[in-house]
Amino acid sequence: MDVICKKCGHAHRFKIEVTDFSGFVCAKCHSYFKGKTVETLTYVKEFSAPLVMQWATLGESVKFKRNSYYIISKIQRFTKSGEYGNEFVGLNANQDDIYFSDGVDYACALHTIDREQVTLLPKSNSCKFGNRHYDLEYTEEQTVVYAEGFVFENLESTSTTLTYIQTVNEDRFISQEFIDNDVQYYQGIYLGDEGYYKIFDTYNDYIARKEGVGTKLRNIGVFAVLLLAVLFWVLNWGQIGKDTYKFDEKFPAKKANSEFVGASFELKGDKPKKLVLEGISESKSHPIQLMIKLVNEKTNEIIESGTAVHENNDVNYASGLTVDFCRIQPGIYHLVFVTSSTNGAADMDVNFELTEDYKLTYGGTSYTFLILCLVGIVVLVGIFRSKILAIKNKDFVARAEGLGYFDILKFDRLGVALVAFFAFFVAVNLFVNSSTDCRTTMRTSNLEDHTYTGSRSHYRRSFYGSGGSYSGYGSGHK
């Protein structure tokens, strides 16, 4: 049967005959007409467009439990508690009806049942239907805010719905609806979201749009990761490259309280960088205190490490040694190893020998923070992705065709979160790179056997020395 809107002339075609209606709402201009026949429909008012997306399309054929129905009504209600609910009426060729209903946190299908089949037990706020008990759980008062197609109630009056949930199977319920001074009973079953949405054609469209938005979100993620890597590279320009120098030096002396001057080396570059010493320090006398000084041969500036003690290690005579020198200017330097006996004034008059086998690394940047931030940004975009693509944001996703990257960044403040993240990343990098009060520190560790291979310090002793160890750089301290 066809219904032509008397206001805008839009033709609504239904593949089924509908009777017993009390009105009709045009799907195009939203005009509401009252009347019991198509011919006698009279204009009442005009609804505004629905605020929340509706899954069903007027006139579409849907399948539910092997039955086919045509959608003849779409209604959107607004409850007193401030939530939207949709109801779609389906009718099949045998004039059997079905009601599909969804809201913020539910989706269900309902069938009309006879009033006589339900026994109300008002004292216990429950009812009985087919030997099953149902408990009253929700009472909602609601008004119609939008409709389309045939209507069977006065859309201008409010209705009250009482929901009784079955005690044995909570997926089943009885709905008692008061409308137009009448009461109607429905038997309902809650459906999973996916199972419900799949009933309607619009859902397939929605899935395609969701993929479109998902792709844009993935692109935003990829761009953010690349931008972060580029920022890291720019902010740490000049720090990323590193130079290493290796030394193996042996210092004999007559006394334990001595100063030994190491070979000179040049730290190249144009800005201060960190200098790390990793090595093995060995002294035949124990216990002995060791301090390392880094001397700038041009300015004579001296940077001292802390003092380490060579304990009487029962495995061997060596200690693993790590010194972080903070922010060293480029230039020519040498190290001075200062030893002293730990028992103070009484110097040991012995054949003392100190062996220093070490590697210096100038420059280099830690990637830990970058890696943490890269993981962080992937997680951040991932969280927003699952939030934005969640079914509760279907109205946003359904706009997919018109959605640009800017719309997505504006949604749920994804853009603000990303900007904050980048600002944090840049601030930490700038702070670390500009910080001048980093401390020079020294750590020692025991080497576990005489081959040094069991050491927790990963630098291995090189017995053959390396180029440059005793090179001819002069040292003013010799």
Tell me the Ramachandran region of residue 233: left when phi exceeds 0, alpha when psi lies from -120 to 50, beta otherwise. Answer: alpha
Tell me the Ramachandran region of residue 82: left when phi exceeds 0, alpha when psi lies from -120 to 50, beta otherwise. Answer: left
**In angstroms, what CA-CA distances link 393 with 216, 297, 390?**
16, 67, 6
Q: How far is CA 119 from the centre of its chain?
A: 51
Exposed, middle or buried: residue 7 (CB in 10 Å: 0-12, 13-18, 19+)? middle
Residue whose CB is less far from Zn ion, 28 or 399: 28
Least distance to Zn ion from the beta carbon of 149, Å?
12
Residue whose CB is less far from Zn ion, 29 or 379: 29
Q: Which of 4, 10, 125, 254 binds Zn ion (CB under 5 A)?
A: 10
Which of 55, 26, 47, 48 lies closest to 395, judged by CA? 55
Considering only residues 94-113, where is the footprint of Zn ion by CB under 5 A?
Answer: none
Considering only residues 24-83, where is the footprint of Zn ion by CB under 5 A?
Answer: 26, 28-29, 31
Least distance to Zn ion from the beta carbon of 148, Å?
10
Least distance to Zn ion from the beta carbon of 219, Å?
41
Contact between 93 and Zn ion by CB under 5 A: the answer reads no
Residue whose CB is less far from Zn ion, 155 or 373: 155
Least distance to Zn ion from the beta carbon of 179, Å?
25
Residue whose CB is less far from Zn ion, 5 or 414: 5
Least distance to Zn ion from the beta carbon of 160, Å?
30
Name the strands in the sheet holding 288-296, side by side, starting at the edge strand that comes first in the sequence.
Answer: 258-267, 331-341, 288-296, 302-310
Residue whose CB is less far from Zn ion, 8 or 428: 8
**In angstroms, what CA-CA distances link 198 with 64, 97, 253, 382, 456?**
10, 19, 87, 25, 60
**In angstroms, what CA-CA distances link 43 with 39, 339, 383?**
12, 104, 48
Provide the β-strand partners of residue 135: 126, 165
Burial letters for 204-234: b for 16+ Cβ neighbours within 10 Å, e otherwise? eebeebbeebeebbeebbeebbeebeebbee
Answer whether the bond into residue 287 is a cis peptide, omega within 30°: yes
Distance in angstroms (rounded) separating the CA atoms of residues 7 and 47:
13
Least distance to Zn ion from the beta carbon of 41, Å?
11
What is the three-class DSSP state of 11?
Answer: strand
CA angle 209, 102, 31 (to 5 degrees): 85
The stretch near Zn ion (CB under 5 A) out of 8-16, 79-87, 90-98, 207-215 is: 8-16
Least distance to Zn ion from the beta carbon of 25, Å?
9
Q: Which of 8, 379, 416, 438 binds Zn ion (CB under 5 A)?
A: 8
Total number of residues that touch Zn ion (CB under 5 A): 8
Residue whose CB is less far from Zn ion, 43 or 369: 43
Which of 323, 109, 292, 125 lies closest to 196, judged by CA? 109
Residue whose CB is less far from Zn ion, 9 or 195: 9
| Contact assessment for residue 98 and residue 199, using Cβ atoms and an 8 Å cutoff | no
The stretch near Zn ion (CB under 5 A) out of 21-29, 200-208, 287-295, 363-371 is: 21-29
What is the three-class DSSP state of 187?
Answer: strand
Residue whose CB is less far from Zn ion, 8 or 302: 8
The stretch near Zn ion (CB under 5 A) out of 10-18, 45-53, 84-92, 336-344 is: 10-18
The stretch near Zn ion (CB under 5 A) out of 9-17, 80-88, 243-251, 446-454 is: 9-17
Contact between 390 and Zn ion by CB under 5 A: the answer reads no
Residue whose CB is less far from Zn ion, 10 or 36: 10
Residue whose CB is less far from Zn ion, 9 or 382: 9
Residue whose CB is less far from Zn ion, 5 or 277: 5
Provide the β-strand partners of residue 296: 333
Least distance to Zn ion from the beta carbon of 33, Å?
9
Least distance to Zn ion from the beta carbon of 58, Å?
12
Contact between 7 and Zn ion by CB under 5 A: the answer reads yes
Least distance to Zn ion from the beta carbon of 150, Å?
14
Least distance to Zn ion from the beta carbon of 4, Å?
9
The stretch near Zn ion (CB under 5 A) out of 5-13, 154-162, 186-194, 321-329 is: 5-13
Q: Which of 5, 136, 292, 323 binds Zn ion (CB under 5 A)?
A: 5
Q: Which residues contact 463 (CB under 8 A, 6 or more apart)?
A: 248
Site for Zn ion, rule CB under 5 A: 5, 7-8, 10, 26, 28-29, 31
